[in-house]
A and B are shown apart, each in its own frame.
Chain A
Amino acid sequence: KAGVTQTPRYLIKTRGQQVTLSCSPISGHRSVSWYQQTPGQGLQFLFEYFSETQRNKGNFPGRFSGRQFSNSRSEMNVSTLELGDSALYLCASSLVSGAPTDTQYFGPGTRLTVL
C-alpha cells in the first residue's frame, strides 16, 4: 500500500505570495492532519480534516487554511506569506479520527522557503 504523499517536496516563494500544498493520504484513510515543523517552535498542529470537515484547528492565524476533498486528499493554503512561514510542513493520515487504535502515518513533508 502506498504511503502518504506530499507535493511539492520543495517550494520557494517570496513574501506576500500565497502557496498551496497537497497531501494524499494512505488509501482508505479518511483523516488528514497538518503540522508545521520549525527549529525554534518544533512541531505544531495546524488542523485536522475528517470526511471533508475540519475537526480541529491549532493556534495559527487565519492566513493558514485547508480543505479536504471527497477522496480524502487534502490541501493547505497559506496566504500573504511571511518569512516566519518558512518551515517543513508535514501531513499525517489515519484511518478515522481519534479512534483508540488509530495510528497516524506521516508523509515526507514539503519544505517551504519564504524569501
Chain B
Amino acid sequence: AQTVTQSQPEMSVQEAETVTLSCTYDTSESDYYLFWYKQPPSRQMILVIRQEAYKQQNATENRFSVNFQKAAKSFSLKISDSQLGDAAMYFCAYRSRGAGANSKLTFGKGITLSVRP
C-alpha cells in the first residue's frame, strides 16, 4: 500500500516571500502521479499542481512549482511571491497509474499554511 507523509502540520510565510511545503511518499510502483491540493477555509478542494512520475521535469503552474525527487520519494511544493489568498490547508496526494489503475487518491495529513501581511 502507498503512504504519503507530510511531517510539518503548520507553516507560516510573509506575504511576497517564498515558502516550501514538504511531502514524502512510499510506494513500490514505478509509475504514478503526485498532486498538491489546496483546501481554503471554504472547504472546496482545488488542484494546485500535478506531476507524472515518468517525467523528470518538475511541474510548474504560475507561482507554484514542485521539486520532484523520485529516488528519494520526495515531492515538495514551492510557492513564490506568497499572497494572502494562498492561506489554506495543502494536501499532497498520490495516485497509481499502472494497469487497472483507478481514481483513488491517497492523501497526506495536510499542512496548514498561514500568510502574514
Interface residues, chain A, with chain B CB atoms under 8 Å away: 31, 33, 35, 42-45, 48, 50, 55-56, 58, 88, 90, 92, 94, 97-98, 100, 102-109
* Majority-rule SS of A interface residues: strand
CB atoms of A43 and B103 under 8 A apart: no
Contacts of A92 in B (CB 8 A): 45, 103, 105
**Given known A42-B108, A43-B91, contact A102–B103 (CB-CB < 8 A):** yes
Interface residues, chain B, with chain A CB atoms under 8 Å away: 37, 42-47, 50, 52, 91, 95-97, 100-110
**Given known A42-B109, A42-B110, A100-B97, contact A106–B103 (CB-CB < 8 A):** no
CB atoms of A48 and B104 under 8 A apart: yes
CB atoms of A48 and B102 under 8 A apart: yes
- Closest residue of A by beta carbon distance from B1: A59
| A109–B95 CA distance with the chains assembled, in angstroms | 21
| A115–B37 CA distance with the chains assembled, in angstroms | 31
| A48–B37 CA distance with the chains assembled, in angstroms | 19
Chain B nearest CB from A91 CB (Å) reads 10
| A45–B96 CA distance with the chains assembled, in angstroms | 14
Contacts of A42 in B (CB 8 A): 107-110
CB atoms of B102 and A108 under 8 A apart: no
